[in-house]
Structure 1
Amino acid sequence: MKFEGVDKELQKILDANMDDVAARRRAREAFKEIQLGIDHCLLKIPYDGLKMKEILFMQSYEVNSRGLEIFSKSWLPEISPLKAVVCFCHGYGDTCTFFVEGIARKLASSGYGVFAMDYPGFGLSEGLHGYIPSFDRIVDDVIEHFSKVKENPEYQSLPSFLFGQSMGGAVALKVHLKQPKAWNGAILLAPMCKIAEDMVPPWLVKQILIGVAKILPKEKLVPQKDMAEMAFRDLNKRKLTSYNVIAYKDKPRLGTAVELLKTTQEIEYRLGEVSLPLLILHGEADTITDSSVSKALYDKASSSDKKLCLYKDAFHALLEGEPDDAIFQVFDDIISWLDERSIRKNPH
């Protein structure tokens, strides 16, 4: 991707092979200021009194129990008391930097402590870019990281919520299914409970890919449409997706595609086991994840407290790719839902 006004040295850093995490970290460091200066409503709002922290242990990253360097970040309101802890699970190919930065700042400015991590193989965490050898392992890494956050004496008494976006919705649901009593609720934004039929290759091609994945799991062979075009309705915002320089934008790796398929099939089968308070938000024109499965989740979940918000004409990227007023409407729905449940759980 070529950027106007970028010098040759920076362009060279951005053109490097991002399979290795060192290249991704160099690109993000070199491009960070340009990223945060883009013309997007989420990144243009001035926020005073916010404390942002990128975890800087062990040569800038925290090493988890599997020996992997994990990048994580937190956003906290400095002045107002914390209402609750929100643990954010990012989508496929994404990172908890860039657009997530804007989402987290907005939540933190409303009184929430927001915590996020890059999954292994994504963003600034160690691992082959875009490769998920085991979805369950990612879920365990997320549980390990967020459990440490929640054990912090400053946050122990606060309500805690999962916030999953797209594939992160599948991560959040699997976290809940492994820890049914650990969370006070979940916000699921266009959750990947099922991949839309148009995104899945024909049956025969799928069987061939599953077979080849056993031998060549890291190969990038899965056909894919233009994700930005499918996810972002606002054309100006769609152009800004190229600034997410460490996002994984290649064809999905075979092993990853098979893991995503298996995970969505499992979640679809287990919708009735979902029991925590739920806010599900989905665009009715989403062609990446299937809004009909969000409706099925709402119907089948055994939660006594559940709410479904469907947005007419909205695409997949509800908080990044819609017109400004639509983005802020979704935020209002999320923050009012959180406020209601945080005050109820934390009256002081």
Structure 2
Amino acid sequence: MANDDIKYEEGYISNARGVELFTCQWIPSHHEPKALIFLCHGYAMECSISMRGTGTRLAKAGFAVHGVDYEGHGKSSGLQGYISNLNDVVDDCSVYFASVCEKEENKRKQKFLLGESMGGAIVLMLHRKEPTFWDGAILVAPMCKIVEDMKPRPIVITILSKLSNVIPTWKIIPSEDIIDRAIKSEEWREEVRNNPYCYKGRPRLKTGYEIFMASLDIESNLDKSTGVPML
């Protein structure tokens, strides 16, 4: 990235399951970062392109910004758009973020999370996992509640649960164009459509089930997310 104010770097790490995960960071070039910010991207998205503007602006403002593409997302390995267990994603983020925080130059810096959409849900799950570790969080359109008239009936949930264990990777969940539904700006829609690292297919069965169950769990436990300042 040609920018004298910030330094951009990419790399890979291996998670506990041996999957290669892509990482990226935006760091101020000419002074010590005043705090750390960790990005959690949304479902079907990634960090290095779709969150580049966020990372760049925050780095120019003096923060060190770190992102990781989840398994099956972006430049990370795994079946594209597939989440077999959302808790594994949370664990991967937790381990990587902690490894950054444990570096000698970062031990005394404040630590903040920033999550968009499903990434907002992951932020809430990370906070619940280690409530005293984080100094604050920023949630952008977080996935933390399902509109009542969109919730499937209990029998449908039971069927989805059983099917997701038999045909977990099948792309059979009917849905509207997720890009049109989630993004209001036409310019931004086109950028996402042209991003080869964004998943654009129908949600896979297990992925949809994991996201749905996580949103129900978060909604019923929002009172446990009050120990950290959130915007």
Q: TM-score, normalised by structure 2?
A: 0.93
- Per the alignment, residue 228 of structure 2 pairs with 276
Quick one: which of 188, 205, 224 aligns to 1:254?
A: 205
- What is the correspondence of 1:142-221 to structure 2 with a 5 Å cutoff? 142-196=93-147, 205-221=156-172
Instruction: Supply the distance in 2 between the matched residues of 1:235 and 1:258 (Cα, whole angstroms).
Output: 29
Which structure features the higher share of helix residues?
1
- Post-superposition Cα deviations, 1:256-299, rounded to whole Å, max 9, x if no partner, equal 111111111111111111111111xxxxxxxxxxxxxxxxxxxx
What does the per-residue CA deviation read over 1:41-100, in whole Å, with 9 as the maximum and x for residues that have no partner? xxxxx8432101102xxxxx2222321111100100111331100011110011112121
How far the C-alpha of 1:159 sits from its partner, in A, is 0.4
User: How many residues are matched?
Assistant: 230
In the TM superposition, 1:60-99 aligns within 5 A as: 61-99=12-50
Deviations 1:237-267 (A, max 9, x none): 3222211111111111111111111111111
Could you tell me which runs of 5 or more consecutive residues in structure 1 were left unpaired when the two chains were aligned.
1-35, 37-45, 56-60, 280-348
2:36 aligned with 1:49, yes or no? Answer: no
Mapped pair 1:234 → 2:185 = yes
Contact 2:46–2:73 at 8 Å: present in 1 too? yes
How far does residue 235 in structure 1 lie from its aligned partner after superposition? 2.4
Gaps in structure 2 of 5+ consecutive residues: none
What is the letter of the counterpart of residue 85 of structure 2? S
Alignment identity in percent? 39
The CA distance in 2 between the partners of 1:52 and 1:237, in whole Å, is: 22
SS of 1:54's equivalent?
strand
- The runs of at least 4 aligned residues of structure 1 exceeding 6 Å deviation read none
Q: Which has the larger radius of gyration?
A: 1
RMSD: 1.9
CA contact (8 A) 1:199 1:224 kept: no
TM-score by length of 1: 0.63
Using the TM superposition, give the Cα deviation of residue 214 of structure 1 relative to its aligned residue in structure 2, in angstroms: 2.1
For residues 175 and 151 of structure 2, the distance between their equivalents in structure 1, rounded to whole angstroms, comes to 9
> Conserved in 2, the CA contact under 8 Å of 1:86 and 1:112?
yes
**What CA distance in whole angstroms lies between the structure 2 residues aligned with 1:182 and 1:62?**
22
The whole-number CA distance in structure 2 between the counterparts of 1:126 and 1:199 is: 32
